[in-house]
Amino acid sequence: MPQVTIDNKKVEVPNGTLIVEAAKKVGVEIPVFCYHPKLQPVGMCRMCLVEVGTPKRGKDGQIELDANGAPAIAWMPKLQTACTTVVSDGMTVRTDTAQVADARRAIVEFLLTSHPLDCPICDKGGECPLQNLTMAYGPGQSRFPVESKFHNAKRVPLGDLIMLDRERCIQCSRCVRFQDEIADDHVLGFAARGRGLEIVTLSDPPFDSKFSGNTIDICPVGALTSRDFRLSARVWEVRDYPSVCAHCSVGCNILIGERDHAIKRIVPRENASVNEIWTCDKGRFVHHFTVAPDRLTTPLVRKNGNLEPATWNEALDLVASRFKEIKWHDPNAIGGLAGDRASNEDLYLFQKLFRQVIGSNNLDHRVGWSVTNTGADSVRVYGAGVGTNLGALDQNVTALVFGADPEEEQPVIRLRLKRSARTFGANLIVANGRVTKLAKYAKQSLVYQYGAEAYFLLGLIRAILDERLENRDFIATRVQNFDAFATSLEPYTVERCAEICHVKPEKIRDAARQIAQSPNFLILYGREAMFAQQNDVAVARALAALLLITGHLGRANNGLVALYPHNNSTGAIDFGVLPDGGVGRTRVERRGLSAREMLGRSNERPSMRALYVMACDPAADGNFVKPEFLVVQDLFLTETARLADVVLPAQSFAERDGTFTNTERRAQLFRAALKPIGEAKPDWWIIAEIAKRLVSGLQFQVSGSQVSGNLKPETWNYATASAVMDEIAATVSLYKGMTYAALAENVKLPRPRSGQGNPSEQPTEIAMGELENISSGKVWASVAESDARAKFELVWSEPSRPLTADSRPLTLAVARSLYDGGTLVSKTQIVQARVPAPFVEINSQDAEQLGIADGARVRVSFDMRVIELDARVDGHVPPDAVLIPNNLDGTAALPMGARVKIEKV
Amino acid sequence: MEHLILRDLDISDIDRIEVYEKHGGYSAFRKAVKEMAPDQVTDAVKVSGLRGRGGAGFPAGVKWSFLPKGVFPRYLVANADESEPGTFKDRQIMERNPHQFIEGMAIASYAIQCHHAFIYIRGEFPHAAQCLERAIAQAEARGYLGEKILGTDYALRITVHRGAGAYICGEETALLESMEGKLGQPRVKPPFPAVVGLYNKPTVINNVETLANVPLIIERGADWYAKIGTAKSTGPKIFCLSGHVNRPGNYEAPFGSISLRDLIFDLGGGIRGGKKLKAILPAGASSFVINPAANEAVLDAKLDFESLTPFGSALGSASVIVMDDATCMVWMAKKTSHFFEHESCGKCTPCREGTYWMARLLDRIDSGAGTLADIDLLANVANQILGKTLCPLGDFSTAPVTSSVKAFREEYERHVKERGCWARK
* CATH code, domain carrying A259: 3.30.70.20
Q: Which CATH number describes the domain made up of B236-324? A: 3.10.20.600
Q: Looking at the complex, does the CB of residue A46 fall below 8 Å from at least one CB of chain B?
A: yes
Q: Looking at the complex, does the CB of residue A195 fall below 8 Å from at least one CB of chain B?
A: yes
A672 within a domain of the structure (yes/no): no
Find the CATH number of the domain harbouring A343: 3.40.50.740
Residue A260 shares a structural domain with residue A183: yes
Query: What tens digit of pLDDT does each residue of B258-301 get?
Result: 999 999 999 999 999 999 999 999 999 999 999 999 999 999 99
Contact: A111, B357; criterion CB under 8 Å: no
Question: Which of helix, strand or coil describes residue A100?
Answer: helix
A531 within a domain of the structure (yes/no): yes
**Cα–Cα distance between A417 and A420 in angstroms, integer?**
5
Backbone angles phi, psi at A571, to 5 degrees: -60, -40
Question: Which of helix, strand or coil describes residue A225?
Answer: strand
Query: What tens digit of pLDDT does each residue of B12-25 get?
Result: 999 999 999 999 99
Contact: B348, A46; criterion CB under 8 Å: yes
- Our CA-based measurement puts residue B351 at a distance from the nearest CA of chain A, in whole angstroms, of 8
- Our CA-based measurement puts residue A72 at a distance from the nearest CA of chain B, in whole angstroms, of 24
CB contact at 8 A, A177 and A190: no
Find the CATH number of the domain harbouring A466: 3.40.228.10
What pTM does this model have? Answer: 0.95
A269 within a domain of the structure (yes/no): yes
Residue A706 shares a structural domain with residue A581: yes
CATH topology of domain B329-424: de novo design (two linked rop proteins) (1.20.1440)
According to the model, what pLDDT value does residue A424 have? 96
CB contact at 8 A, B60 and B292: no
According to the model, what pLDDT value does residue B359 have? 98
Q: Looking at the complex, does the CB of residue A81 fall below 8 Å from at least one CB of chain B?
A: yes
**Cα–Cα distance between B235 and B50 in angstroms, integer?**
7
- Our CA-based measurement puts residue B198 at a distance from the nearest CA of chain A, in whole angstroms, of 18
Q: Which residue in A85, A113, A137, A198 has the most chain B C-beta atoms within 10 A of its own C-beta, making it the best mutation to test that interface?
A: A113
Contact: B346, A78; criterion CB under 8 Å: no
Tell me the sheet residues that pair with A253: A244
Q: Looking at the complex, does the CB of residue A642 fall below 8 Å from at least one CB of chain B?
A: no
According to the model, what pLDDT value does residue A705 have? 47
Contact: B166, A193; criterion CB under 8 Å: yes
Residues of B within 8 A of A146 (CB-CB) are: none
Residues of A within 8 A of B388 (CB-CB) are: 46, 49, 78-79, 103, 106-107
Residue A317 shares a structural domain with residue A414: no
What's the residue count for chain B? 425
Choose one of A669, A700, A731: the last residue of a domain: A731
Residue A427 shares a structural domain with residue A444: yes
Residue A232 shares a structural domain with residue A336: no
Residue spans of the domains in chain B: they are 7-226, 236-324, 329-424
Residue A432 shares a structural domain with residue A550: yes
Residues of A within 8 A of B355 (CB-CB) are: 194-195
Q: Looking at the complex, does the CB of residue A84 fall below 8 Å from at least one CB of chain B?
A: yes
In sign, the C-alpha dihedral spanning B387, B388, B391, B397 is: negative
Omega before residue B190 within 30° of 0, cis: yes
CA distances from A599 to A385, A624, A640 (A): 37, 7, 12
In sign, the C-alpha dihedral spanning B101, B107, B110, B111 is: negative
Q: Is B358 left (phi over 0), alpha (psi -120 to 50) or beta?
A: alpha
A758 within a domain of the structure (yes/no): no
Residue A496 shares a structural domain with residue A527: yes
A662 within a domain of the structure (yes/no): no
Residue A496 shares a structural domain with residue A387: yes
Find the CATH number of the domain harbouring A825: 2.40.40.20
Nearest-CA residue of chain B relative to A197?
A: B346
Q: What is the mean pLDDT of residues B76-81?
A: 98
A736 within a domain of the structure (yes/no): no
Residue A893 shares a structural domain with residue A836: yes
- Tell me which residue range forms the domain holding A331: 300-373+569-650+682-731
- Our CA-based measurement puts residue A195 at a distance from the nearest CA of chain B, in whole angstroms, of 5
Residue A466 shares a structural domain with residue A537: yes
Omega before residue A129 within 30° of 0, cis: no
Contact: B346, A79; criterion CB under 8 Å: no
Contact: B353, A195; criterion CB under 8 Å: yes
Q: What angle do CA A889, A890, A893 make, to 5 degrees?
A: 115
Residues of B within 8 A of A195 (CB-CB) are: 341, 344, 346, 352-353, 355-356
According to the model, what pLDDT value does residue A403 have? 96
Nearest-CA residue of chain A relative to B351?
A: A194
Question: Which of helix, strand or coil describes residue B343?
Answer: helix
- Number of domains observed in the structure of chain A: 5
According to the model, what pLDDT value does residue A707 have? 52
Contact: B353, A47; criterion CB under 8 Å: no
- Positions of E strands within A600-686: 610-614, 629-634, 646-649, 658-661, 666-670
> What is the average pLDDT score of chain B?
97
Question: pLDDT under 50 in chain A at which residues?
Answer: 702-705, 753-767, 769-771
Confidence of residue B383 (pLDDT cuts 50, 70, 90): very high
Residue A435 shares a structural domain with residue A367: no
Q: Looking at the complex, does the CB of residue A111 fall below 8 Å from at least one CB of chain B?
A: yes
**Cα–Cα distance between A237 and B230 in angstroms, integer?**
72
Nearest-CA residue of chain A relative to B362?
A: A148
Residue A254 shares a structural domain with residue A351: no
Contact: B349, A170; criterion CB under 8 Å: yes
The correct answer on CATH 3.40.47.10 for the domain covering B7-226 is no
Q: Looking at the complex, does the CB of residue A143 fall below 8 Å from at least one CB of chain B?
A: yes
Residues of B within 8 A of A190 (CB-CB) are: 183, 185, 346
Residue B183 has pLDDT above 60, yes or no: yes
**Cα–Cα distance between A841 and A849 in angstroms, integer?**
15
- Our CA-based measurement puts residue A85 at a distance from the nearest CA of chain B, in whole angstroms, of 9
Residues of A within 8 A of B387 (CB-CB) are: 78-79
Residue B154 has pLDDT above 50, yes or no: yes
- Our CA-based measurement puts residue A207 at a distance from the nearest CA of chain B, in whole angstroms, of 19
According to the model, what pLDDT value does residue A534 have? 84
ipTM, interface predicted TM-score of the complex: 0.95
A889 within a domain of the structure (yes/no): yes
Largest CA distance in chain B: 74
DSSP B113-180: T-SEEEEEE-TT-HHHHHHHHHHHHHHHHTTSSBSSGGGSS--BEEEEEE--S-GGGGSHHHHHHHHT
pLDDT > 90 in chain B, percent: 98
Query: What tens digit of pLDDT does each residue of B112-136 get?
Result: 999 999 999 999 999 999 999 999 9
A816 within a domain of the structure (yes/no): yes
- Our CA-based measurement puts residue B397 at a distance from the nearest CA of chain A, in whole angstroms, of 13
Question: Which of helix, strand or coil describes residue A79?
Answer: coil
Residues of B within 8 A of A139 (CB-CB) are: none
